[in-house]
Amino acid sequence: MSSKNGQDGSSLQTEPPLSFAISRRHALLGAAALLAPLSPSALLATPTTTPNAAASSLIRLDSNENPYGPSPKARAAIVASIPEGCRYADADIAPLESALARQEHLDPAHVVLGSGSSELLHIAALLAAEGGAGGELIAADPTFEDIEEFAAKFGVHTRLVPVNKAHQHDLPAMGQLINAQTRLIYVCNPNNPTATVVSRTALEAFIKTVPSHILVLVDEAYIDFVTDPAAGSVAKLIDTYPNLIVIRTFSKLHGLAGLRIGYGFATPALAARLRAKQLAFPNIAVLRAALASLSDDTFLRSTLQSILADRSRVEALVDARGLARAPSQGNFVFFEVRQPITAFRKTMLEHGIRVGRPFNRYDDWCRLTIGTTAEMDHTIAVLADVLPKA
C-alpha cells in the first residue's frame, strides 16, 4: 500500500523526527498561544515556504501539494468563517456548487462535492462493487492507487495496464481488457506519478468505445497545470456520455489539501447516485475558502506561473544530465535517477528534502513536487550535486 488515507503522502523510516518531546513548559506555552488573540496579519500572510518547512526546515516535495496556498482570499474567508463554526454549513453548499457549474457552463445538478476528490474516488469504487462479487476495475500502472486500494476492500479486483513507452495511459490496451466483469475504468489525466496526459481526442475516442453500463472516471486533479494544447478537460462531455464522471480537487492549484474539498461532474442521474453514497458533510471553512479561491485570479495566475517556471527549471536540469523523464503536465516532475529510489530518497532527505515514494515499474525514478521558488532554488542546487552526471 503506498498511498494512505486517500492522499498521496509518503512514509520513510529514515526521516528525521519532525516532532519534539512535549515538555510541561511547551504545553503551557502552547496553551497560552491558543488563548492569545490571533494575529490577522500572520494568518493572512502568504508564506514564502511551507509552514511545516518553517517549523522543521524540511522541504516537502513528496505529496504534490501547493505550498503557496491557501490563497489570500481563501485565508480571509477561513478567518471570517470562525464565528460561524457553531453552525451547520448547509447554506454554503449551493453557492459553491453553482460557482463550479458556472465555470463549466453546466447545471448545479451536475456537481457533487466531496471531502477531497478522494471521497469521490471511493464512492466510484463503491458503485463498482454494487453489482455483486467479481467486479473489475481497469487502471494504468503506475497511477494513483487510491481507487484500486479502496475498491479491493469491497471485492473489486483491479486489472492494471502498464503505461506505454511515452509513460502515458495505454488506452487501446485498457480497452482490450474490457470484459463482462468490468464495472469501472479509471483514467488519471494528467497521470500521477508520470505527469503525462492523453489528448482530448484520444480520450473521447476511448470513452466512446466503452459500453454505457461501465463507468469511466477521469481524474483531473492536475488539470490546471496542463500546458499541452492537445490535452484538457473532458467535463463538457458528461451529457454525451452518461457513464462518465470527471473529478477535480482544490488540493493542488488552490493549495487547500489540508482542508479537504474536491468535486465531480456527471449527469444529474449519475451525480445523484454518487451523492447517495456520500459519508462526509463539508465544513463551513473549506466551503467558503474554496468559493473565495475560485475568484482569486491574481493568486491563481501567479502561483501557476511560478510552478510552471520552476517545473521547466527542473526539467532543464534533468535533460542537461541526459536522464530520461516524462513530459510533465502536473505540478511535479517524474525522472530517472539511475539508482534505487529508496537510496535516492535517503540522500535527498539528508539534504533536508523529502521527495516522492517508490512507484510500480519505475524503481529508479523520482517524482518531485514543485515547491516554492525559494525551495526549488535550494532543491535544484542539491539535485545538481547528487544527480548522476551522464
Ligand X SMILES: Cc1ncc(COP(=O)(O)O)c(C=O)c1O
Binding site for ligand X (CB under 6 A): 6-8, 64, 116-118, 144, 188, 192, 219, 221, 249, 251, 257, 262
Minimum CB distance to ligand X, residue 346 (Å): 23
By C-beta, is 311 or 321 nearer to ligand X? 311
What's the closest the beta carbon of residue 176 comes to ligand X, in angstroms?
24
Question: In this complex, which beta carbon is closest to ligand X, that of residue 188 or of residue 235?
Answer: 188
| Dist CA 4 CA 149 (whole Å) | 10
In whole angstroms, the minimum distance from the beta carbon of 116 to ligand X comes to 3
Least distance from ligand X to the Cβ atom of residue 125, Å: 13
Identity of the residue, 10 or 379, whose beta carbon is nearer to ligand X in the bound complex: 10
Query: CB of residue 358 vs ligand X: minimum separation in angstroms?
Result: 16
Question: Which position has the grid cell 469521490?
Answer: 120
**Shortest distance, position 8 Cβ to ligand X, whole Å:** 3
Q: Which residue is nearest to ligand X (CB)?
A: 116
Query: What is the nearest approach in angstroms of ligand X to the Cβ of residue 119?
Result: 7
Of 136 and 219, CB closest to ligand X = 219
Cα gap 188→198, rounded to integer Å: 9
Nearer to ligand X, 280 or 324 (CB): 280
Smaller CB distance to ligand X: residue 140 or 188? 188
Residue 341 or 387: which CB sits closer to ligand X? 341
Residue with cell 520513510: 12
The packing angle between helices 268-275 and 116-129, to 10°, is 100
Nearest CB to ligand X, comparing residues 255 and 262: 262
Shortest reach from residue 220's CB to ligand X, in Å: 8
C-alpha span between 42 and 340 (Å, rounded): 41
